[in-house]
Amino acid sequence: MNPLLAFQLRRIGRNRQYLIFTVLLPALFTVFFTEIFGGLATTPAGFQREAVQYMVSMMAYGAIGAALGATIRISFDRASGWQRQLRVMPVAQAQVFAVDVAVGALLTLPSLVTVALVGRFVNDVQLGLGTWVAMVGVLWAGSIAFVALGLFIGLSLDERAAGGAMSFVGVVLALLGGLLAPVEVFPGSLRTVAHAMPSYWYAQLGRDVAGGAGPAVEAVLAVLAFTAGFAALAVLVARRRPLYAVAG
Amino acid sequence: MSGGTGDVPHYLRSGRSDHAERVTRPPALEISGLTVRYGDTLAVDGLDLAIPAGSTVALLGPNGAGKSTIVNAVLGLLNPESGAIRVLGRSPRDAIRAGTVGAMLQHGGLPSEARVGEVLDLVRRAFPQAWPLDDLVVTAGIEGLLARPVEALSGGQRQRVLLALALAGAPPLLLLDEPTSAMDVEGRRAFWTTMRGLADRGHTVVFATHHLDEADAVADRVVVIADGRVIADGSAADVKSGVAGRTISFTASVERRLDGLPAVSGVTWQGGTVSLATSDAAVTLRALLSDGGLPDLEVRGASLEDAVLSLISTGRNTPIGAVR
């Protein structure tokens, strides 16, 4: 493995807060929501529906948190001066950037897999093996949109503002994207807002696959468009923002 | 364009063997016409500077003189408005990619949630030719710190770890920007002993500092920078002797008339004590004595500090005649 990638992954592995918020919390929420809303179901099929719904929502929730949490580190590394230190080493800037993307992309996996395992073994969600793999796969691929969003935020803001922005953006995406309460119970106007959220379309990818169909073209295009938009913003900011403030 | 070699005192005594050296080895650093602007502020103003390989050079100047900007430009961390920089015969970016430069940045830092040994290992692997670990640890003075989390380092220990990172690739050129800022007296002494050792091994060491004693003790050449220009260039002794030879200080009341004294290039007040920098102590003293008493009189040779202050105050507008 690339030494820089291994190094960055090892650093995040040490961060307990990160593991708690991106893996443990979504896993607990999956059990919690399924107990409550699944418990209201009157038939086993109804319970399955709720269990799948919340499992996918929490996979999306966890992956978004993980993607944002992994990429916000860029602002920390800029503030500490580590990014500048990397600039004066024989390491290509493109490699540093690629590692940031790879770290974000890889770190959504533990969250996705853990929540899926909780769904399967705690909540007894029944899906075919191919569907499980496809569902995790499509949610993993789609999480790149939030890696791009996190890069944009991490590159734009200083470390304190970035920390706040990440939490805020995470909550807004979860709430308005229908990850905590399903969009079906939203009033009409709020539903329109939900449809403007990348998180809604992202979770939709997983729901389509879990429902046995392929992901809807609409959802795929929406996630791709958000990815392209966030990535363009991130690149724009990376080009324009100086790496540091200079004095003397 | 100002700052050309013509209006800068050059104290390099005779052209010595520098020329022969330059032919065989590319200069460690060649800067010509470097101009850097931050918005409306001119940080570096048409700077020319050549540093032959193997020398130890201090960039000396007050805060805001442009030292860090020069270092950052040499490292390719900023885009100058104009000018050319060659680092060991390469562009700054190529020199870094080739692993020929090691740098201690003023605003450089260590990553959180990592151990010293891991960071050092990563940096050593990045360079084509790594400094052997055991020797590196001893040279940088970080024995016993490898297993330590970065967060648990003291200020001085951090600086030494940053030094180890700068040395990790055994680079021919070392650029150090205010390297001892977080060190205590003991740490600074040890640090400069290390630097002298590196210079003896043939490394080119270029460091920015506003500590005159460091420049005086370590560098075999002192380049005084003010307002983004070179205002003096030579050995510490040359810089000292090139300006006002003596400092006269005595206790005086504020009413004492001190303007128009012969040979005086600078007047500084500190409490009730006035210090005059003079190029001819005898002439100045005679004028002073004819005008009244001189309680607590003290006459001493100019320190490097006096010399630099005088150079900065006069060098900003009027060029100083070269002393050869």
Interface test with B, best of A19, A88, A240, A244 (most B CBs within 10 A): A88
Residues of chain B contacting residue A247, judged by C-beta atoms under 8 Å apart: 63-64, 68
Give the Å distances, CA to CA, from B148 to A2, B112, B138: 23, 12, 16
Tell me the pLDDT tens digit for each residue of A157-205.
Answer: 988 899 899 889 999 999 999 999 999 999 989 999 999 999 999 999 9
Whether B113 and A89 lie within 8 Å, measured CB to CB: no
Q: What angle do CA B18, B19, B24 make, to 5 degrees?
A: 100
Q: Residue A221 CB: number of other CB atoms within 10 A? A: 11
According to the model, what pLDDT value does residue B17 have?
Answer: 43
Q: Are the beta carbons of A82 and B75 separated by less than 8 Å?
A: no
Could you give the CA distance from residue B185 to residue B213 in angstroms, rounded to a whole number? 12
Residues 214-273 of B with CB under 8 A from A: none
pTM: 0.80
Assign B307 to helix, strand or coil: helix
Residue B104: CA atoms inside 13 Å, Cβ hemisphere, count? 27
**CB of B171 less than 8 A from some CB of A:** no
For residues A68 and A22, what is the distance between their CA atoms, to the nearest angstrom? 10
Helix, strand, or coil here: B289?
Answer: helix
- Write down the residue that tokens 């969600």 correspond to: A125
Beta bridge partner(s), residue B209: B60
Cα torsion B162, B164, B169, B174: sign: positive
Burial class (CB in 10 A: 0-12, 13-18, 19+), B258: middle
Task: Give the number of A-B residue pairs with CB atoms closer than 8 Å.
Answer: 94
Contact check, Cβ <8 Å, B114/A10:
yes
Contact call for B127 and A90, based on CB within 8 A: yes
Q: What residues contact B68, with CB distance under 8 A and at least 6 apart?
A: A246, A247, A248, B106, B177, B178, B208
Percent of chain A residues topping a pLDDT of 90: 75
pLDDT at residue B6, as a whole number: 44
Interface touch B105/A243, C-beta < 8 Å: no
In what helix (H) or strand (E) does residue B314 lie, and over which residues does it extend?
helix B304-315
DSSP, residue by residue, B172-239: SEEEEESTTTT--HHHHHHHHHHHHHHHHTT-EEEEEES-HHHHHHH-SEEEEEETTEEEEEE-HHHH
Chain A CA closest to residue B126: A90
B93–chain A nearest CA distance, Å: 9
* Whether B88 contacts B28, CB under 8 Å: yes
Which of B44, B47, B106 is the best substitution to test chain A (most A C-beta atoms within 10 A)?
B106
3-state SS class at B75: coil
- Best CA proximity match to B56, nearest among B164, B161, B200, B162: B200
Residue A19 has pLDDT above 80, yes or no: yes
- The Cα of B126 is separated from the nearest Cα of chain A by a number of Å equal to 6
pLDDT exceeds cutoff 80 at A248: no
Give me the mean pLDDT over the A86-107 stretch: 93
Question: Which candidate, A103, A169, A167, A111, places its Cα nearest to that of B111?
Answer: A103
What are A113-164's pLDDT values in tens digits? 999 999 999 999 999 999 999 999 999 999 999 999 999 999 999 888 998 9
B105 and A84 within 8 Å at the Cβ level: the answer is yes
Residue segments in chain B with a per-residue pLDDT below the cut of 70: 1-24, 241-245, 302-307, 310, 313-324
Contacts of B165 in chain A (CB under 8 A): 85
State how far residue B268 is from chain A, nearest Cα, in angstroms: 24
What are B63-119's pLDDT values in tens digits?
888 999 999 999 998 889 999 999 999 999 999 999 999 999 988 889 999 999 999
Gap from A91 CA to chain B (nearest CA, Å)? 6
In chain A, domain spans: 3-240
Which residues partner with B208 through β-bridges? Answer: B59, B177
Interchain pair B109, A248: CB under 8 A: no
3-state secondary structure chain A: CCHHHHHHHHHHHCCHHHHHHHHHHHHHHHHHHHHHHHHCCCCHHHHHHHHHHHHHHHHHHHHHHHHHHHHCHHHHHHHHCHHHHHHCCCCCHHHHHHHHHHHHHHHHHHHHHHHHHHHHHCCCCCCCHHHHHHHHHHHHHHCHHHHHHHHHHHHHCCHHHHHHHHHHHHHHHHHHCCCCCCHHHCCHHHHHHHCCCHHHHHHHHHHHHHCCCCCCHHHHHHHHHHHHHHHHHHHHHHHHCCCCCCCC
Lowest mean pLDDT, pick from A36-45, A179-188, A217-226, B250-259: B250-259
Chain B residue numbers touching A17 (CB-CB < 8 A): none
- Between A106 and B190, the higher pLDDT residue: A106
- How many Cα atoms within 13 Å fall on the side-chain side of residue A229? 9
* Mutation site, B101, B112, B163, interface A, largest A CB count within 10 A: B112
| B126 at interface of A, judged by CB pairs closer than 8 A | yes
Question: What is the pLDDT at residue A145?
Answer: 98
Task: Locate the chain A residue with the closest alpha carbon to B92.
Answer: A88
Compute the distance between CA of residue B296 and CA of residue B275 in angstroms, rounded to an integer.
Answer: 11
HSE (CB half, 13 Å, CA atoms) of A2? 13
Mean pLDDT (chain A) is 92
